[in-house]
Amino acid sequence: MEYRQLGSTGLRVSAFGMGCGNFGGIGSAPEFFGQGESEAEAFQLLDRAVELGINYLDTADAYGGGRSETTIGKWLSTKGTDVRDRLLISSKVANPVGEGPNQRGLSRRHVLRQVEASLSRLGVDHLDMYLVHEPDPTTPLEETLDVFDHLVRSGTVRYIGASNFSAWLMTRALWISDVGSLHRFDWIQNSFNLIDQADQAEVLELCRDQGLGFTPFSPLCGGWLTGKYRFEESYPDGSRMTLRPEPYLRYWNADTFAAIDRLAETASDLGVSTAGLALGWLHHHPDVTSSIVGPRRPDHFQPIEEAIGLSLSAEQWGEIGGFFTGAAGS
């Protein structure tokens, strides 16, 4: 496993992070709480991740209604201190954790309450990494940055970042931090993959200019880049498209599927799976720090291993990225 510097910090994260959003649920959606991976299945996945050298676990207070953090905490309790010392635990705050008007967002009250709840569920005394899960237009950005600065200065959190942030909003956040002598966000975590390359321009340009890390989620675009979907066929049982199709419907067109076919052909020529090549493309991306993968079975780690062992020339990398030029989201 390769380890990379997180932006301008001294922290080194594995080139692939373990996404834990399906432990006890499917992301933050209440209708799926209690689904996803069972505790035993999650333990098996976490064990495999550590065996592979992954040192970065990504979760959130809202995943599975708190079940994801609780599962990780229970797993950590079965391990020695050496395992905890090797791992970087990252969580997030902002998504709803209840019905009340103050049980969501990025207010000082909510952040302080939720970070304590996350620490309790995880069974740890600090978070290595803590992210804004999404922007909160109802709370002044100054208030959020001030409380995040407090968390770093108090030792509750070591490094801070932001997810689902546009370039202009991150620019504003960095300016507020600089002017107010506050700790600034160290990295951005947005959706990014071969199909969805929308961040290729402004966001990644900002990361380079400001020395920010970039840790994309959904590196396989909800399973699309595994080749499991076919244009004129129904969705496979239990697939993401049967559960939450809405974010991906814009990709359901002949151009996207033609590009996936080209990706599959190239993967076959290189002796890897379609998913392995998609992850390999991210692994070679000069602006990607760590891709957040969410294996749901032990065999889902195989494409990660393929990606780590794959060698692409600059010409091959550029050609593969161009397969999806013009597809929705690129």
Report the CATH number at residue 68.
Answer: 3.20.20.100
| 169, 189, 209 - which closes a domain | 189
| 24 within domain boundaries | yes
Q: Record the tokens describing residue 57, joined without a space.
A: 């676990």
| 85 within domain boundaries | yes
Question: In the chain, how many domains are there?
Answer: 2
**Residues marked as catalytic:** 63
User: Which tens digits make up the pLDDT trace of 35-64?
Assistant: 889 999 999 999 999 999 999 999 999 999
What pLDDT sits at residue 220?
A: 97
**Owning domain of residue 319:** 218-330
| 90 within domain boundaries | yes
Same domain, 232 and 313: yes
Helix (H) and strand (E) counts in the chain: 12, 10
Same domain, 157 and 233: no
CA distance linking residue 205 with residue 187, whole number of Å: 13
Same domain, 13 and 67: yes
Query: Could you give the 3-state DSSP secondary structure of residue 283?
Result: helix
Same domain, 241 and 312: yes
Same domain, 172 and 276: no
| 30 within domain boundaries | yes
CA distance linking residue 321 with residue 54, whole number of Å: 25
Same domain, 8 and 73: yes
Same domain, 174 and 57: yes
Same domain, 124 and 73: yes
Same domain, 240 and 133: no
Same domain, 172 and 42: yes
What pLDDT sits at residue 300?
A: 95
Taking alpha carbons only, the member of 302, 285, 164, 289 closest to residue 226 is: 302
Residue 129 — φ and ψ, nearest 5°? -140, 140
CA distance linking residue 258 with residue 36, whole number of Å: 31
CA distance linking residue 154 with residue 136, whole number of Å: 24
User: Which tens digits make up the pLDDT trace of 277-309?
Assistant: 999 999 999 999 999 999 999 999 999 999 999
Cβ contacts of 249 within 8 Å, gap of 6 or more: none
What pLDDT sits at residue 194?
A: 97
Cβ contacts of 51 within 8 Å, gap of 6 or more: none
| 181 within domain boundaries | yes
CA angle in degrees (0–180, nearest 5) for 142-146-151: 150
What pLDDT sits at residue 330?
A: 53
| 55 within domain boundaries | yes
What pLDDT sits at residue 251?
A: 86
Q: Is 36 exposed, middle or buried (0-12, 13-18, 19+ CB in 10 A)?
A: buried
CA distance linking residue 261 with residue 323, whole number of Å: 10
Same domain, 163 and 222: no
The count of other CB atoms within 10 Å of the CB of residue 138 is 10
| 5 within domain boundaries | yes
Q: What is the pLDDT along the chain (330 residues), one digit of tens a residue?
A: 999 999 999 999 999 999 999 999 888 888 888 888 999 999 999 999 999 999 999 999 999 999 999 999 999 999 989 999 999 999 999 999 999 999 999 999 999 999 999 999 999 999 999 999 999 999 999 999 999 999 999 999 999 999 999 999 999 999 999 999 999 999 999 999 999 999 998 999 999 999 999 999 999 999 999 988 887 777 777 777 677 778 778 888 999 999 999 999 999 999 999 999 999 999 999 999 999 999 999 999 999 999 999 999 999 999 999 999 866 545
| 107 within domain boundaries | yes
Query: Could you give the 3-state DSSP secondary structure of residue 45?
Result: helix
Same domain, 252 and 138: no
